[in-house]
Amino acid sequence: MRRPARDNPASARGITRRALVLGGAQAGMAGLLVYRMHSLQVDQADDFRLLAEENRINIRLLPPARGMIFDRNGVTLADNEQNYRVVMVREDLGDLDEALRRLAMIVPISPEDLARAKQDLERHSPFVPVTVAERLTWEEISRVAINAPALPGINPEVGLSRRYPLGADFAHIVGYVGPVSDYDLNRIDDQDPLLQIPRFQIGKTGVEDKFERTLRGHAGSKQVEVNAAGRAMRELSRDVGEPGADIQLTIDARLQSYTEARLEGESAAAVVIDVETGDLRAIGNAPSFDPNLFVRGISVADWAALNEDIRRPLAAKAVQGTYPPGSTFKMMTAIAALEAGVLDPEETVRCQGYVEVSGTRFHCWKAGGHGNVTLHESLKQSCDVFYYEVSQRVGIDNIARVARDFGLGTRFDVPMSAIAAGLAPDRAWKQEVRGEDWRIGDTINASIGQGYVLASPLQLAVMTARLATGRAVTPRLVRAIDGAEQPRTGGEPLPYNENFLRRIRQAMFDVSNHQRGTAYGSRIATEEFRMAGKTGTSQVRRITAEEREQGITRNEDLPWERRDHALFVCFAPLEAPRYAVAVVVEHGGGGSTNAAPIARDIMLQALYDGPPPLTAYPSNLRPQIEIQQQRIRDRVPPGSTSSSRA
């Protein structure tokens, strides 16, 4: 049927309009697609390229080389050695248990290490590399490398691990490093991403801990190309970061090793300080331990042996240990009395073996007494009664003030762990800490370094250096950081009468060089190096009146832990002092018999910059000294100590 003619124009117009609308829509869609393609290919090209690269390239942190530690002469105390290890990245592994099983078939990994690795991998982000095995041999790491195509997410690497060439000789000074723990992360305010790397090692004790940030350096990074399976194909770039700074100590390695060897067999500590500069030349602690055990992962058996040893090898006794200083404190009481004007240097005090105060007897070490003694004789023969008497005149507050001026009761800024402050007590201290009034008996006990008085070997060495020079000598352990010399000071003059100090020094000289001196048996025979010293014996148990009546039990007849501590402090030479030495032997008995010989030997080693000639010793001691030197010789590293006083 044909349409009417009149309908054809209207129909044509409708078709044209629809065609225009449809064509416009199609053109708009095409324009939108062109715009979107331009946006994707041109405007957002960099963003999509980055996404593609991230799927193809992994960026991983590179731990920097840790700074090295040297002695004053450049002897290496802590360095880094190559460490072949295997790391895993969980997001590239697939089945974790299967990956660990396959790795264990290639290299030996203990069940404990496998369990620890699995725990680390599950605890940390999937992109964080976790060390699974380390300290592998070249053959073992080669087997991993050969099988790498079949081990996605498992990568052999060559890293660095800490090494302590001189081992136990510097364990308490340098300290050691170990894997960062949750405790470490909580105690230090440090956002360094390196700390998030499982088993990354940081300083735990000693200089390693105190200079952790300086020694650590700054992380580098590397870009690794991986395939779709996550297998590393090649390294694209590497930024090694910034290595840690090197640190040079004031310690003399040979003198330190000698000191450790001389203390062997004792529970003891010794400190050697240069009285001119305050540089610490040796800080001995015995027994010691091998810090390399902690770097490699100490075994349960080794840890138990160290932790349960009654002689406390893990403790840095030279700076952490505090002991009643005994008679080495008497110089403080004497100076306080002289300065206060309550004691004439030539005055005599009658010693009958004890004094009685408020119904209590305070005994001298010599039961029959010393008779009439002057200040000089009281130090030379170590008469206790003399100090009981003068301390009542001068009072504890004056004694404590002098003790603090000479370094006791002071926490020195030395970068070692747990530096002890010691205690130079006074009236205010007892009231504040114990809520009690100070009593005259407290003063009497304190006058001979007993009672509440406590000092570390470091403090006793500083006290002796200040006595020798009359200056506020301050100890220094770090000589330079990355070659930059660290501040040092010989100290300002102390506000004390030089004539009084000279009298004290002369009395200390006779302690070691007069036949009636308590340390005469440990004297130095060389005229130019003769030393001044003071013996000390501090009680660790109370001697009852009944025991005194029946006869005091000898130290050698007591259990070790109930014996007295033995102490000796000295400086040499008398007229131009170079070094001061302090020695404490825990439960060593008498200071004159056990501490003084050790201090003399260490002093001679320092003065001669190596083994002294036998003529430096009294003739009757030379045969045994020769045997002793032969025993120690193999313990001291080769080379010569420096005579530099810089």
Active-site residues, by number, are 327
CA distance linking residue 147 with residue 172, whole number of Å:
43
Strand-pairing partners, residue 79, are 163
- For the chain, helix, strand, coil in percent to 5 are 45, 20, 35
CA distance linking residue 343 with residue 339, whole number of Å:
8
Q: How many CB atoms neighbour CB 268 within 10 A?
A: 29
DSSP H helical segments within 308-426, as ranges? 317-320, 330-340, 375-380, 384-394, 396-405
- Both tokens assigned to 558: 């007591």
CA distance linking residue 423 with residue 400, whole number of Å:
9
CA distance linking residue 127 with residue 224, whole number of Å:
13
Q: What is the DSSP string of 498-520?
A: HHHHHHHHHHHHHHHHSTTSTTG
Q: Are 518 and 532 in contact (CB under 8 A)?
A: no
Q: Are 417 and 320 in contact (CB under 8 A)?
A: yes
Q: Are 151 and 166 in contact (CB under 8 A)?
A: no
Nearest CA among 589, 588, 629 for reference residue 286 = 588
DSSP reduced 3-state for 598 = helix
CA distance linking residue 131 with residue 86, whole number of Å:
6
CA distance linking residue 599 with residue 571, whole number of Å:
10
- Both tokens assigned to 449: 């370094």
| Cis peptide bond prior to 287, omega within 30° of 0 | yes
Residue 241, burial from CB neighbour count under 10 angstroms (0-12, 13-18, 19+): middle
- Both tokens assigned to 136: 């592998």
Residues 6 or more apart whose CB falls under 8 angstroms from that of 494 comprise: 405, 406, 466, 470, 471, 472
Indicate the DSSP class of residue 416: S
CA distance linking residue 158 with residue 63, whole number of Å:
11
